[in-house]
Amino acid sequence: MNRIRAGVLVAAGCAGLAVAGMSPAQAQATGSSAVGGVGQIEVTVQADGAGANCSVRVDGTIVPDSNFLVFADPGTASKTVTGISGGSHQVNAFCNGADLDTFTVQVQPAQTGSTQ
């Protein structure tokens, strides 16, 4: 009986070490860009590996539902946020708990109604 317990404990310990050693390193965002449009902003992030988890920050506030992931290893991903008022905005990506470079982006107001 003791031999069985010892075998189970050794196996469990090895499994725990294997799982701990297999956890992937978190991808780091290495660069970004931002472009304004008509009522919207597109943010692109470059990362050194798959798994960079990012959101879009406009004028200091993370935009709701702006989360996106970089899937390629290494690679890029973009997110377009809409409903942005016209004018000049401070924009950056917030990835894996860190703010990337901030850009000043000009957004054109969205057209509403008829021009006739």
Burial class of residue 18 in the structure, from the number of CB atoms within 10 Å of its CB (0-12 exposed, 13-18 middle, 19+ buried):
exposed
pLDDT at 28: 87
pLDDT at 13: 42
Q: What does pTM read for this prediction?
A: 0.73
E strand or H helix that includes residue 81: strand 75-82
CA distance 57 to 101: 11
Q: 3-class DSSP state for residue 80? A: strand
The per-residue pLDDT for range 12-55, each reduced to its tens digit, is 444 443 434 434 567 889 999 999 999 999 999 999 988 899 99
The per-residue pLDDT for range 61-104, each reduced to its tens digit, is 999 999 999 988 899 999 999 999 999 999 999 999 999 999 99
Look at the block and give the residue holding tokens 């991903």.
77
